Amino acid sequence: LVNATRAINPFLTYLAYFSFEAKRDGTLKEPTETAKIANIATQGQTIPMLVITNIENGNFSADLTSVILRDATIQNKFITNILQTAEKYGMRDIHFDFESVAPEDREAYNRFLRNVKTRLPSGYTLSTTLVPKTSSNQKGKFFEAHDYKAQGQIVDFVVIMTYDWGWQGGPPMAISPIGPVKEVL
């Protein structure tokens, strides 16, 4: 991983190191070799991203997200830990890849992102991952909690997962079929 990062770094704008996992107590579980990867990115023009996920026990967890969004003390500790980690490794983009967020946490997630945004030091950016949906009222556990309009107003940029149709556990198809990608955009 370190050698691959070193080889590709000159061609990158951002390096999204997947992932720092949120914990129920407001701490973060760091991926291996974080310091080496971040150091390689900061040696060039690449902006290292602190990618934070709501992965727990190998899966995206709505319950974990609810704990963070609904408890002000845990949320404050979580944001503080994120900012300290970003500073420690020179990561200037804070990126949330929270998937399977409960629909009833939609507004709480927006408030959380606003809270993070107000606490970012100068020169930092905030970004999120959004699932590809074709209407604001699209139903399903992956869609309802993500408010495209609100996140577009809060964060500096979004990553729309238009690469997520074809995958190893599904039927044979393109990873990013052009028709559905155009429909989302």
**What secondary structure does DSSP assign to 88-137, as a single string?**
HHT--EEEEE--S--GGGHHHHHHHHHHHHHHPPTT-EEEEEE---SSTT
- Three-state SS at 153: helix
Out of 21, 56, 99, 144, the active site residue is: 99
Cβ atoms of residues 130 and 151 within 8 Å: yes
21 is catalytic: no
Q: Any idea which residues carry the catalytic annotation?
A: 99
